[in-house]
Copies of this chain bind each other. A is one copy, B any other.
Amino acid sequence: MTIDSTVLATLEKQAIELPSWAFGNSGTRFKVFGTPGTPRTIQEKLSDAAKVNELTGLAPQVALHIPWDKVDDYAALRDYAANLKVSLGTVNSNTFQDDIYKFGSLTHTDAAVRQKAIDHHFECIDIMGETGSRDLKIWLADGTNYPGQGDIRGRQDRLAESLEKIYAHLGDDQRLVLEYKFFEPAFYHTDVPDWGTSYAQVSALGDKALVCLDTGHHAPGTNIEFIVAQLLRLGKLGSFDFNSRFYADDDLIVGAADPFQLFRILYEVVRGGGLDDDSPVAFMLDQCHNVEDKIPGQIRSVLNVQEMTARALLVDRDALLTAQNAGDVLGANGILMDAFYTDVRGDLAEWRESRGLPADPMAAYAASGYQEQIAAERVGGQQAGWGA
């Protein structure tokens, strides 16, 4: 095997959280295509997520989205998940689908609207207490479409105030991770558009507030691995939202658009201690499966992360440092590329089997009959999607 036991030991601990909404229908503003077997409830989403974990051993946690995944009894939901051998993870708030939020939520000029949005986060934190979740993730859709529509500066001040109130509500072992996004759904300005803004805001809050880096949320040409390295250095990288994109926030399968970029990102994670035992970094997917099958889409995604992590761990860091110090540009680049070009798939399949997992989780899923089963069983009701 090319992959040695040290690498395998690290890979063994790898856990990638799945987003509950990846199993629902999604699409573009032009059309959302539905598919047979799509879950109608959070319980069915958990079942699908558990299947991904069962076949890959990589995805023991499921992130919730509130209110999409609201239930009456979270203790029961926790048990339900535990029976499926997964646990409930990050709680994601939603302040972009109520009519009241048309012109903003935590940044709104109206104190009553802001309070409603803050209260929603209090509710999320309360749910976290019941689900045992550590992280509250805030992705803020706030922004404006036209110059002048809003007061950029005032909105930033109000954001700081709102976040302070939410932060104060966190339990001792809970964290707030603030996601940034270059644009969309706002078209002219976004209130948290870049890592600098997220960093400045969470730094003002305290140690339990960190930055969430969504790999699809950057301007064209942005060197994302630089941001990874920088946030790790500053001790403020709280979590990843993995996906990939060719143009905007396309939410494609992680590694699908630019596998070499994913490799470089994971190399900086390794380099910066992001896989160490005491690392604050959480790894999760945040993707849409618009035209591809959802469960295999998630399986493919966690495998992509695993395979690229394996490659990143293969980099001969001593040799690399030597070449870097010597100004040997091609030599240093060659050491990195050697790891990237190494085909780790066979080794990983073998290792997977040695752990009682299928060598080929994609094929195992196809052969499992699960897709046919849910397509047959999940008839009637309202298929889950964004907004349900």
Q: Is the CB of A386 within 8 A of B184?
A: no
Complex Cα spacing A293 to B102, Å:
13
Q: Is the CB of B330 within 8 A of A292?
A: yes
Q: Is the CB of A193 within 8 A of B325?
A: no
What is the interface residue range for chain A against chain B? 35 or more
Q: Is A112 an interface residue (CB 8 A)?
A: no
Chain B residues within 8 Å of A260, by CB? 147, 258-260
Chain B residues within 8 Å of A150, by CB? 324, 332
Q: Is A221 an interface residue (CB 8 A)?
A: yes
Chain B residues within 8 Å of A64, by CB? none
Chain B residues within 8 Å of A182, by CB? 221, 247
Complex Cα spacing A257 to B146, Å:
8
Count of identical protomers in the assembly = 4
Q: Is the CB of B330 within 8 A of A293?
A: yes
Q: Is the CB of A183 within 8 A of B248?
A: yes
Q: Is the CB of A148 within 8 A of B221?
A: no
Q: Is the CB of B246 within 8 A of A188?
A: yes
Q: Is the CB of B153 within 8 A of A256?
A: no
Cβ-neighbour of A247 out of B187, B252, B257, B332 (below 8 A): B187
Q: Is A232 an interface residue (CB 8 A)?
A: yes
Chain B residues within 8 Å of A27, by CB? 29, 185
Complex Cα spacing A272 to B157, Å:
12
Task: State how many angstroms separate the Cβ of A210 from the closest Cβ of chain B.
Answer: 14
Task: State how many angstroms separate the Cβ of A281 from the closest Cβ of chain B.
Answer: 14
Q: Is the CB of A292 within 8 A of B329?
A: yes
Q: Is the CB of A330 within 8 A of B271?
A: no
Q: Is A141 an interface residue (CB 8 A)?
A: yes
Report 6 cross-chain contacts, Cβ distance below 8 Å, ordered by A residue. Answer: A102-B291, A145-B329, A148-B337, A190-B223, A194-B196, A292-B330
